Amino acid sequence: MIHTTDHAAIRELQLDRPPVNALSPELIVALRKAIEEASSGGARALILSGTPGRFSAGLDIPLLLGLDKPAISEFWPAFYGLAGAITGSAIPIVAAITGYAPAGGAVLATFCDWRLMADGDYKIGLNEVQVGLPLPPVILHGLRRLVGPRQAERLAVAGEMLSPQEALRVGFVDEVVPLENVVERALEYCQRLLALPPEAMMSTRRLARADLVALFENLEAEVKRTIAVWWDPTTQAQLRALVERLGKRTK
């Protein structure tokens, strides 16, 4: 599910869970472990990438709908834990967005240090509202930090999906490049960071991201609300209708 490539001191973690790199419980646990182990393994920066045309399609909703309450009660803390691990990583993480990145895929990118997206007929966005899920507060705060309060309200309430150029215009991503250059440009960005005096760069990074890290403190109540919303009959009906629509498209 994850291919690891070391480019000298920069480690690339490529999501590869066909067909669309959807986030399953197993992938979430594996990705968090890989992120947390990277710095202890000698990496000084991380790149999170996907397969060509797909960064991550977000949560694997069909799979999650088949899980019972104990499993869902484990899943949501794990998902929040992954986002927190990206946010609080001891080393910089660059999102090399190699294609579509809706919902959970956009969440991963939101909490990285830098975001590069492939140019083309792709979309990125926190479209949870469109599929019947309210956007969790910590994710809304992360979005607001990137694009500002008014844009965050507009994008979150409508669950807007953005083209690469639209995402660049509002500040959701930091750079748009051809698909074949996404990882290369991510490497160049990491190399520029690592060429700086290390202690000065890392201490300033910690200070600059302290507000973002603080979002993940004391999340027990939010996680409980998210689990309760998941089991709400209206939410379940909307998610099952979504899966049915997606199934019809693939036939």
104 noted as active-site residue:
yes
Q: Tell me, what DSSP letter sits at residue 192?
A: H
Q: Output the CA angle 195-200-201, nearest 5 degrees.
A: 55
Exposure class string for 178-201: b at 16+ Cβ within 10 A, else e: ebeebbebbbebbeebbeeeeeee
Residue 176: phi and psi, rounded to 5, are -120, 125
CA 59 to chain centre: 10
Tokens coding 243: 């899966």
Q: Catalytic one among 13, 15, 23, 59?
A: 59
Tokens coding 32: 């968090």
128 noted as active-site residue:
yes
Radius of gyration of the chain measured on its C-alpha atoms: 17
Q: Catalytic one among 31, 116, 125, 128?
A: 128
Q: Catalytic one among 127, 146, 162, 215?
A: 127
Which residue carries 């509202």 as its tokens?
129
Of 47, 49, 48, 51, residue with least CA distance to 18: 51
Helix, strand, coil % in the chain, rounded to nearest 5: 55, 15, 30
Burial (CB count within 10 angstroms: exposed 0-12, middle 13-18, buried 19+), residue 163: middle
Q: Catalytic one among 104, 105, 125, 142?
A: 104
Please list the active-site residues: 59, 104, 127-128
